[in-house]
Amino acid sequence: MNPDGIMTAMREKNLLLQEKNDEMVSLAIEQANMQHDYRIAVASEIAKRRLNGESITLAETMAKGTPEVADKKVEFVVAEAKYKSCISSIKVTLAAISTLRSLLVWEREEKYNKNI
């Protein structure tokens, strides 16, 4: 890869990194909202069950098994996975940028050594 190709690839990776950073903010908000909704759904269901006289342990276990609460849990888990995936993608992009920098330094040294 020549220096121009390396610089082009670095620009592309930097743009991708910026996109992922922007995406991470929205994914973090989505994850927080899903967790919020899940916790409210669990608390509401537990409160209803406690009012019906169920024990605390049984109420919590049964509440988490209701379709509405289970759906909220799935949404939360998916949002969390998306967020973690975005972080992983950012790490991979940073590693690629580091590799490209190393290639650029190597190219510079090769050119310098040929001129000596």
**pLDDT digits 0-9 by tens, 54-75:** 888 888 888 888 999 999 999 9
Q: What is the pLDDT of residues 39-49, one digit of tens each?
A: 999 999 999 98
Provide the residue range defining the domain that includes 28: 3-115
Domain count of the fold of the chain: 1
Average pLDDT of the chain, as a whole number: 92
Measure Cα distances from 10 to 21, 37, 108 in Å. 16, 40, 16
Please state at what angle helix 67-115 crosses helix 3-51, rounded to 10 degrees: 160
**pLDDT value of residue 70:** 94
pTM of the model: 0.78
